[in-house]
A and B are shown apart, each in its own frame.
Chain A
């Protein structure tokens, strides 16, 4: 099983600041990595697929990069609506796996 390790567990930032979230895979997943945002009481929402492609309707504030085992989700300037939990997910091997999540909270 491919283990995805997200860091940090919690990121405390102010609106307008830049957020950098990391996802590290236990073995290469090529570019088959997605990022999701989840707000309390809501279903996850796809932000980025295949490491760097924004999903339909996702603002350019969100960008993804990386390949192999190291991936980054960047939020260029935090909007109040961006404070949430973010998960990465790999689709390179069975079973599909998610990272443990990074909570982006208001400082």
Chain B
């Protein structure tokens, strides 16, 4: 059974930093693209970042480029999102999502974690 478990969401001040983690199990982690998708309170879904199975290719939404860094440790089956220079508009539930097995990093998502809430406020 595929499981994705996010952690690390907390209340942080504007300008602060945070690292989210997503522990994966139930599939061959290194074979799949992974992404972070966020959802601001009461709003729709926004794709944030994606990473290839090897970790060699990364992609970002313009809204987070230069501030967020996606990475993965395939030996630990864990996905990360390093978030720096946080802003109020980054407040959201952050979901870790597994890319469906397509031969491209541009994937849709067949499994999602339960999400972790990041609140940016003073």
Contacts and interface: CB of A to CB of B under 8 A. Distances in A.
Interface centre among A45, A46, A89, A96 (most CB of B within 10 A): A96
Given A95-B59, A95-B61, A95-B62, A46 B110 contact: yes
B106 A98 contact: no
Contacts, number: 60
B73 interface: no
B32 interface: no
Nearest to A100: B44
A87 B35 CA distance: 17
A94 B50 CA distance: 10
A95 B47 CA distance: 8
Q: Main secondary structure on chain A at its contact with chain B?
A: loop
Contacts of B107: 91
Interface residues of A, number: 25
A106 B61 CA distance: 35
Given A96-B50, A100-B44, A43 B114 contact: yes
A77 to B, nearest CB: 25
Given A43-B114, A44-B112, A49-B100, A32 B106 contact: yes
A97 interface: yes
Contacts of A101: 44-45
B95 interface: yes
Contacts of A44: 37, 45, 95, 109, 112
A87 B110 contact: no
Contacts of B89: none
A43 B109 CA distance: 11
Nearest to A99: B44
Given A43-B115, A49-B100, A96 B47 contact: yes
Contacts of B47: 89, 95-98
B10 to A, nearest CB: 19
Interface of A: 1, 32, 34, 36, 38, 43-46, 49, 55-56, 87, 89, 91-101
Interface of B: 35, 37, 44-47, 50, 59-62, 95, 100, 102, 104, 106-110, 112-115
